[in-house]
Amino acid sequence: MKKLLLGTAAVALMSASATVANAQSVEVLHWWTAGGEAAALDVLRQDLESQGISWQDMPIAGGGGSDAMTVLRARVTGGNPPTAVQMLGFDILDWAAEGALGNLDDIASEQGWDEVVPEALQAFSKYDGHWIAAPVNVHSTNWVWINNDALEAAGGELPESWEDLIALLDNFREQGIIPIGHGGQDWQDATIFDAVVLSMGTDFYQSTMIDLDLDALRSDTMVEVFDRMETLRGYVDDNFSGRDWNIASAMVITGEAGMQFMGDWAKGEFLAAGLVPGEDFQCIRYPGTQGSVTFNADQFAMFNVDAAQVEAQHAMAASILSPEFQVAFNTVKGSAPARTDIDDSAFDACGQKAIADLAEASANGTLLGSMAHGHANPASVKNAMYDVITGHFNGEYTSEEAAEELSLAVESAM
């Protein structure tokens, strides 16, 4: 049924796009449908419309973007690609390898992208030395979001270690608060897993999630990672299965749950609800990971389109990387700018921390692509990891079995 609905959506989108003949228009495929995300995207839409460029919206709900990629494949196969598509990490490089993406070198040269976009992002914005995508932001994924009232009720101490974290979760439970707001979807499980692996050290994260060292993947340290995942699972409510991430965020916003492990797009939900960082909620790095950042970056990959549409496409790319847009967008979205030369004075406390942490990690070589969000390894490997992580989280494997299965799954997917 899901495939049928997606297919129907794709056909409908193809028909709709065929009626758009205006060269000064952009057709944008994305999955930013939650409140904070939609508000952030509207900043870009308004910016383009102020330039006389109309916006045809193509939202496909689903936090990880997999449904959007299904619709995209149908559009490209049908010879009618959108102007721009929200995309992550290795997915961009895969489409570039197929020759499906346009060339943004002229715009990049005019705006000096090479000098201001962090090298870690450029690895996914370029292919064969050519710019093929415009980075919108840098999301860091090893965050913990904590309801301030719940924190005060549970003792008021922010956790700095694994032991501190467990003590706080226990205190939440004693106060009748669901300790962890979480949604039972594979990418959400993997987001927690990312942070737990990183807390074991950046070298361990590098060897397991990026270098895919099979011995490290089946090591005693990885068994400990799965042990900790099992412990955290015990603090999640029984109704978590299938819950969307923003619903889990709402649990923390209302105080039903104490905390959520989620990337900084969650902050957009807190801000949209009228909450103030430091007063109504706290943002900290997952205990044991301060000084290191796992990241993903939303980018708009620019597809090969008719020559008449290229001008509008390039205008969109230029707007995305303008300093004004980077500030306006990221203060709403909750992420850090994709440029290193942005003044942080317009950002709230969590935003300023995100920018400072990003700069520190980039300088120290501890800015690492997030496995859970497609920036550490190709999709085939990521999906193989997802299966084992979620299987273990749902009780299918012991920790020892999960570590061995993870190594075998990665070996088969490489």
| pLDDT value at residue 359 | 86
Q: Give the pLDDT score at 185.
A: 94
Residues 278 and 408 in one domain: yes
The answer to whether residues 158 and 260 belong to one domain is yes
**Are residues 216 and 91 part of one domain?**
no
CA angle at residue 247 from 243 to 249, to 5 degrees? Answer: 120
Residue 67: its pLDDT value, please?
83
* Same-domain check for residues 110 and 172: no
Whether 159 and 281 share a structural domain: yes
Question: Do 265 and 386 sit in the same domain of this protein?
Answer: yes
The DSSP call for residue 341 is: S
Band (65; pLDDT cuts 50, 70, 90)? confident
Share of the chain above pLDDT 90, in %: 76
pLDDT category of residue 14 using cuts at 50, 70 and 90: very low
**Tokens matching residue 6:** 């997606």
Residues 324 and 405 in one domain: no
Residues 181, 151: Cα–Cα separation, whole Å:
14
What whole-number distance in Å separates Cα of residue 12 and Cα of residue 23?
21
176 is in which domain, residue-wise? 143-294+364-413
Q: Check whether 32 has a pLDDT greater than 90.
A: no
Contact 376, 382 (CB under 8 A): yes
Q: Are residues 351 and 380 in the same domain?
A: no
Q: What is the CATH number of the domain that holds 358?
A: 3.40.190.10
Closest CA to 83 of 261, 240, 266, 302: 302
- Which range is least confidently modeled, 61-75, 110-124, 125-139, 371-385? 61-75
Residues 263 and 177 in one domain: yes
pLDDT at 8 (0 to 100): 43
pLDDT of residue 4 exceeding 70, the answer is no
Q: What is the mean pLDDT of residues 159-185?
A: 97
Is pLDDT larger for residue 42 or for residue 387? 387
pTM (predicted TM-score) = 0.83
Examine the pLDDT at 10 and tell me if it is beyond 50: no
Residue 146: is its pLDDT beyond 60?
Answer: yes
Considering only CA atoms, which of 94, 83, 93 is closest in space to residue 127? 93
Pairing of strands 54-59, 25-30: parallel
Task: Say whether both 381 and 281 belong to one domain.
Answer: yes
Q: Are residues 236 and 327 in the same domain?
A: no
Tell me the average pLDDT across 368-391.
95
User: How many domains in the chain?
Assistant: 2
The pLDDT assigned to 64 comes to 61
Residue 160 sits in the same domain as residue 243:
yes
Instruction: Tell me the C-alpha distance between 281 and 380, whole Å.
Output: 36
Dist CA 95 CA 8 (whole Å): 23
- Mean pLDDT across 279-304: 96
